[in-house]
Structure 1
Amino acid sequence: MSIRPIVRFPDPRLKTPCLPVTVFDGTLKQLADDLYDTMKAAPGVGITAAHIGEALRLVVLDLPQLGGRCDYANPEILWSSPETMEHEEGSVSMPGAIETVLRPKAIELQYDDLEGVRHKVRLEGFPAICMQHEIDQLNGMFWLQRLSRLKRERLVTKWERNRP
């Protein structure tokens, strides 16, 4: 396990759709462990392989509502609730930048675990928001694209001025 360098905004790799995980082996488990360590050091509560420059559909979340660390390969949203909620979001790739984003309040998710076993789960509230945020990243959509142009431009200008 190791902490890996995080790809920083506006790196074009953050806009690249990720490829499906097809091999479920020790290398995938090592990548998930590296993602977890990198996320904790950032700090953050969610991370994708894209955040460290690996174009694979792999997400690691660490939320008390989920019982701690959860690994998701090839996550796919099957259903989204019509009910929405606003939540402040940010990214390990853009530390210090946060803004309110509107997303469905609940989702039904299909994913593979690190052994390649398929699962379905319903997520609500903050875990649903986090997963949607990370799946956007897997699809090459950096979270800023969910903001209005005005909010996005203001946030980027402020972030570039105060960049860590």
Structure 2
Amino acid sequence: MTEHRTVFNHVGLCVRDTARSRRFYEGLLGFQFWWDLEPPDNMTSALIGLPEPLGVKATYLVRDGFVLELMDYSKREVHVGSERLMDQVGLTHISLSVSDLPGVLEQVPEFGGEVLHGSVSAGAAMIRDPDGQLLELLADGWLKALPPRP
């Protein structure tokens, strides 16, 4: 066991359009705006390993203690990577429980996302946000089946 304290901070997501992503995460999934940060390029460049200029604007959204950082680059072209698959090493998806799964799925296209129709069941579905990030939506009845958290 480590001697130091570790606290969850956030998950970062590169986006093409902050306003579009905020509309999706806030309007569809109930995240709340927390704050914006525009760090200086020189410090950010060294931290994230990308050359200047960057023009990063980081927008922080919160849902049930989970912090999602939307990273938008105004001074560089962002790149659409390969479509993430569930068997690729690294972050595969973000999972959220919703009280009305069919109702949320019906609204996904209106908020710029995509429902992966082959994944839809009575209790779960996979969707993509406007930039293709994979999200798992679970009916909130699943929460009752979980063991107590440590």
TM-score by length of 2: 0.24
**More RCO (CA 8 Å, sep 6+):** 1
Bigger-Rg structure (1/2): 2
TM-score by length of 1: 0.22
